[in-house]
Structure 1
Amino acid sequence: MSKAFLIDTTRCTACRGCQLACKEWHELPANKTKQVGTHQNPPDLNANNYKLVRFNEHLDGETIKWNFFPDQCRHCVEPPCQGAADTVEEGAVIKDEVTGAVIFTDKMKQFSDEDLQYIRESCPYDIPRWDAATKRPAKCIMCIDRIQAGKLPACVQACPTGTMNFGDREEILRLANKRLATVKKAHPNAMLADPDDVNVIYLLAEAPEQYHAHAVAEAPAPKSRRQLFASLRSSLTSTSKS
């Protein structure tokens, strides 16, 4: 059984403990940043930030509301990035059978810029970022080394509010649905973001667009080149037979 996260955004205070714990565990260097009109810092995910607490400020009538979204790789049940990478070289992106963690391997160092862009665009959540130091895309790896040592992911260990939860997928799904039922009493539009498709499940109190443009996969991921070629071949075969 794979592992999963529940990220309960209704409990997030944007303390950014998860964001900092991630950087510390993976020994990621600091980013040079500047004020760009938001408390969100850095402005976006990058090779030195596998996790980013996003800030969304909006008006609810005459009241200003803040929604916080700890963004990271979703470790998809069927990773589009893996399918895209397999069209270049199989095994460049792997999915750990025990945890469900999606990992980018050193085989990606051989990929062209076009290939890497194709893999990034295959992600419906806009996650991978190019790492010039390692010559491959960078993202959350589910702290697989910690899990294998019997520890929680660093972000979950550091969270002081119960926003970050981690465990066996079935256990997390039960917890997610239980929390959703509770949250719906005060927020009727509350939802779980793509729970059947990902192993990082977000509980949202409002519509996804009130959090982040890529809070949910609004459209299917692009077909891999292998799928496109197969479709084209099938179409040509059908035409020739007719």
Structure 2
Amino acid sequence: MPKTFFIDTSRCTACRGCQVACKEWHEHVAVPTRQRGTHQNPPDFTPQNFKIVRFAEHKIDGKIKWLFFPDQCRHCVSPPCKDAADAYVPGAILQDEATGAVLYTDKTKQLTIDQAREVQDVCPYHIPVRDQDSGLLTKCDWCIDRQRAGMLPACVKTCCTGAMSIGERADMLALARQTLAKVKETHPKAELLDEDFINVIYLVTEPRTLYHEYAERREPKGPMTRQAFLAMLARPVTRMRG
């Protein structure tokens, strides 16, 4: 049974410890940046940033409220990016059987710019980023090396508020639903995001549209090519319920 990652945003304080831990574990270099009028930094994913705490500011019930969203790859149960890549370079994207982690390999460098863009465009959460220098497609690897060594992902290990949990899918779904019931007592609009389709499940306290454009599952940007469509048909349709 694949693992599932549960992120309870009601506990997130936007300390960005998870963002820093991810960067340190993967030995990513610092990238020059600038103030853009928000505490969110950098503004989006880069080849050097697999995890970003997103900040959204709204007026809710007459009060200004910050909404925090530790964004990353959702490690889809049936990843459309893998279907798209398999149509051109089989093995460029793998799915680990033991954990469900969706892993981008060095073979993604073999994808042409147009093919890589197609892989990016089919992602429902706008996650993959292409390294302009190496041609490698990049994103969160769910700390697969740590998981295989019996360790927690770096972001989970460093979270000081207990906002992040990882475990067997059935256990995490049970925890997510139990937590949701509790959070709804004070935040009646709270909900879980797309839990049937992904292995990284978010609990949000406000309507999902308030967090950011890709907090929820979105349809692909452009038409799917014939090759990608055939690759998708070769996979069984999967919805994983607890």
Q: TM-score, normalised by structure 2?
A: 0.91
Percent of aligned positions that are identical: 53
Alignment deviations for residues 133-172 of structure 1 (CA, whole Å, 9 cap, x no partner): 5421110000000001010000000000011111111111
State the alpha-carbon separation in 2 of the partners of residues 186 and 83 from structure 1.
Answer: 41
Aligned to 1:226: 227
Q: How does 1:179-194 map to 2 (within 5 A)?
A: 179-194=179-194
57-66 or 153-162, which deviates more? 57-66
Q: How does 1:14-33 map to 2 (within 5 A)?
A: 14-33=14-33
Report the alpha carbon displacement of residue 227 of structure 1 after superposing the two structures with TM. Answer: 5.6
Report the alpha carbon displacement of residue 208 of structure 1 after superposing the two structures with TM. Answer: 0.9
State the alpha-carbon separation in 2 of the partners of residues 206 and 81 from structure 1.
Answer: 29
Q: How does 1:125-140 map to 2 (within 5 A)?
A: 125-140=125-140
Alignment deviations for residues 56-77 of structure 1 (CA, whole Å, 9 cap, x no partner): 0011142100000000000000
Query: RMSD over aligned Cα, in angstroms?
Result: 1.7
Aligned to 1:56: 56
Aligned to 1:234: none
Which one has the bigger helix percentage? 1
68-77 or 126-135, which deviates more? 126-135
State the alpha-carbon separation in 2 of the partners of residues 195 and 134 from structure 1.
Answer: 34
Letter in 2 for 1:90: P
State the alpha-carbon separation in 2 of the partners of residues 119 and 13 from structure 1.
Answer: 33
Alignment deviations for residues 83-116 of structure 1 (CA, whole Å, 9 cap, x no partner): 1111112211110000100011111111110000
Question: Is 1:151 aligned to 2:151, yes or no?
Answer: yes
Aligned residues: 231
Aligned to 2:105: 105
State the alpha-carbon separation in 2 of the partners of residues 136 and 119 from structure 1.
Answer: 12
Report the alpha carbon displacement of residue 228 of structure 1 after superposing the two structures with TM. Answer: 4.4
Higher Rg of the two aligned structures: 1
State the secondary structure of the residue aligned to 1:174.
helix
Report the alpha carbon displacement of residue 48 of structure 1 after superposing the two structures with TM. Answer: 0.4
Alignment deviations for residues 195-225 of structure 1 (CA, whole Å, 9 cap, x no partner): 0100000001111111111011143686453
State the secondary structure of the residue aligned to 2:177.
helix
Letter in 2 for 1:71: D
State the alpha-carbon separation in 2 of the partners of residues 34 and 158 from structure 1.
Answer: 26
State the alpha-carbon separation in 1 of the partners of residues 161 and 174 from structure 2.
Answer: 19
Q: Decide whether aligned partners of structure 1 residues 143 and 227 sit closer, same or farther in structure 2, where only a CA change above 3 A counts.
A: closer
State the secondary structure of the residue aligned to 1:135.
coil
Equivalent pair of 1:84/1:225 in contact (CA under 8 Å):
no
Q: TM-score, normalised by structure 1?
A: 0.91
Equivalent pair of 1:9/1:205 in contact (CA under 8 Å):
yes
Aligned to 1:89: 89
State the alpha-carbon separation in 1 of the partners of residues 230 and 75 from structure 2.
Answer: 26
Report the alpha carbon displacement of residue 15 of structure 1 after superposing the two structures with TM. Answer: 0.2
Report the alpha carbon displacement of residue 185 of structure 1 after superposing the two structures with TM. Answer: 1.2
Report the alpha carbon displacement of residue 130 of structure 1 after superposing the two structures with TM. Answer: 1.2
State the alpha-carbon separation in 2 of the partners of residues 167 and 144 from structure 1.
Answer: 14
Consecutive unaligned residues in structure 2, runs of 5 or more: 232-242
Equivalent pair of 2:85/2:228 in contact (CA under 8 Å):
no
